[in-house]
């Protein structure tokens, strides 16, 4: 059983590192305004949709494609490895909490729907930074999908949390999230 648990943890870590492009925290700075420099061509199958979407046309469902490797298309997560977004109190509670998770990542043990998880999520879920509009779009999508029915997230809310946590250099923990309202 111990070998199986270790193998699942190793597999989950490999999925996370592959899906998220490593762990380059230096890429976790706000994206530059791309509204004036729209791409000349449509996105390819190899480029994440979020890298070509301008801040003004951010599409939460498309951006969520970057989250699916760990949280799955259904938002159910991966048991024992990555928590579900469907029905998660962290997703549907105060918007500052999922905003902070996307901006800074999440590390350590967290309880979601009564089950404990202990893994790592890097900022933005990937090594591709997101604008306030993109963070708001994907969180609005997640908070209104998978059976969730939480209010939308606005770019102004994202900007407020980004400014309030700008000096943070480490991922969020459950204790940090509990302190946010």
Neighbours of 133 (CB within 10 A): 21
| DSSP designation for 167 | T
Question: Which tens digit of pLDDT belongs to each residue from 154-163?
Answer: 999 999 999 9
Question: Which tens digit of pLDDT belongs to each residue from 14-36?
Answer: 444 434 433 333 333 333 333 33
The values of phi and psi at residue 129, to 5°, are -60, 155
Confidence of residue 58 (pLDDT cuts 50, 70, 90): low
Question: Which tens digit of pLDDT belongs to each residue from 125-151?
Answer: 777 889 999 999 999 999 999 999 999
Whether residue 95 has pLDDT greater than 60: yes
55 HSE (CA, 13 A, CB side): 16
- The whole model's pTM is what? 0.70
Q: Report the share of the chain in percent with pLDDT over 70.
A: 68
What structural domains does the chain harbor? 2-21+58-179 (1.10.760.10)
């Amino acid at each position: 059983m111990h070998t199986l648990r270790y193998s699942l943890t190793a597999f989950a870590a490999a999925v996370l590192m592959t899906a998220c492009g490593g762990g380059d925290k230096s890429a976790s700075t706000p994206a530059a305004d791309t509204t004036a420099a729209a791409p000349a061509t449509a996105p390819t199958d190899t480029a994440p949709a979020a890298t070509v979407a301008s801040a003004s046309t951010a599409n939460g469902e498309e951006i969520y494609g970057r989250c699916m490797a760990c949280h799955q298309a259904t938002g159910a997560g991966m048991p024992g490895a990555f928590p579900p977004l469907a029905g998660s109190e962290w997703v549907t509670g105060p918007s500052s909490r999922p905003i902070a998770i996307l901006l800074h990542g999440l590390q350590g043990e967290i309880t979601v729907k009564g089950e404990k998880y202990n893994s790592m999520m890097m900022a933005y879920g990937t090594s591709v930074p997101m604008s306030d509009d993109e963070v708001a779009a994907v969180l609005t999508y997640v908070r209104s999908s998978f059976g969730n029915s939480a209010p939308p997230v606005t770019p102004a809310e994202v900007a407020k949390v980004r400014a309030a946590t700008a000096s943070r250099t480490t991922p969020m923990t459950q204790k940090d999230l509990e302190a946010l309202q």
